[in-house]
A and B are shown apart, each in its own frame.
Chain A
Amino acid sequence: MKLLKHFWLLCLAVPSLLLFGCATIDKDANALIVQAERTQKIALATFDAFLRFEFENRASLERVSPDIHKFAEQIRRDGKKWIESAHLLTQTYKANRTEENKFSLMTGLAVLEAALADSRKYIATAAVTPTP
């Protein structure tokens, strides 16, 4: 179970280091669009890895916290919709960079980022809870 904790700690630490440690944006690129695209890619990879790990280790994780499974089920139901929505809003803003489309994209990204924040919360729960 120590390995399980290390997995979650890595899940917490690595994206933060990658996102905030070495994030650069080309001069001619739109920062909001680049950030939106990065967030979608990271969300897709994180949700996929989290769901697969939860699927393969459900019994162990149930002992850590039943909420982890509940959250995984929420991601299974809505995760794809959140990413698709953010992707569509990004494409809309790319094609037509109005303030209205910018606001819609920021709103869509906020939903996705909230889900990622919740992922981190449950990951942290698994990381700090003593396991049998």
Chain B
Amino acid sequence: MLYLPLITGAVSLIERLVPLITEWRKAAKQSGEMTPEEDAEFADRIRNITSQPWWKPEDQ
């Protein structure tokens, strides 16, 4: 039981870190300007990000 929070924390860290590092690597590899299609895709990602529950402010 003592190790349960640690295991849960470790799983949570791995879940957060893997996509984050992937995103950082993709961003760092970008050497040219985004194409209009990439621009539109990124705009969609920005638009949709606040639908996630962790983006909701506490008072909402």
Mark A residues whose CB is within 8 Å of B: 3-4, 6-7, 10-11, 14-15, 18-19, 22-26, 28-30, 33-34, 37-38, 40-42, 44-46, 48-49, 51-57, 60, 73, 76-77, 79-80, 83-84, 87, 91, 94
Q: Are A41 and B27 in contact (CB under 8 A)?
A: yes
What chain B residues lie within 8 Å of A77 (beta carbons)?
57
Known: A52-B16, A80-B49. A29 touches B10 (CB 8 A): no
Q: Are B31 and A42 in contact (CB under 8 A)?
A: no
Q: Are B27 and A49 in contact (CB under 8 A)?
A: no
Interface 0/1 of B1-31, CB less than 8 Å to A: 0000010011011001101110111111111
What chain B residues lie within 8 Å of A45 (beta carbons)?
19-20, 23-24, 27
Overall SS of chain B's interface? helix
17 more CB-based (< 8 A) A-B contacts, given A28-B32, A53-B12, A94-B33: A4-B9, A4-B13, A10-B17, A18-B28, A34-B33, A38-B27, A40-B42, A41-B26, A45-B23, A45-B24, A49-B16, A51-B52, A51-B54, A52-B52, A52-B54, A73-B58, A91-B39
Q: Are A34 and B24 in contact (CB under 8 A)?
A: no
What chain B residues lie within 8 Å of A94 (beta carbons)?
33
What chain A residues lie within 8 Å of B55 (beta carbons)?
48, 51, 76, 79-80
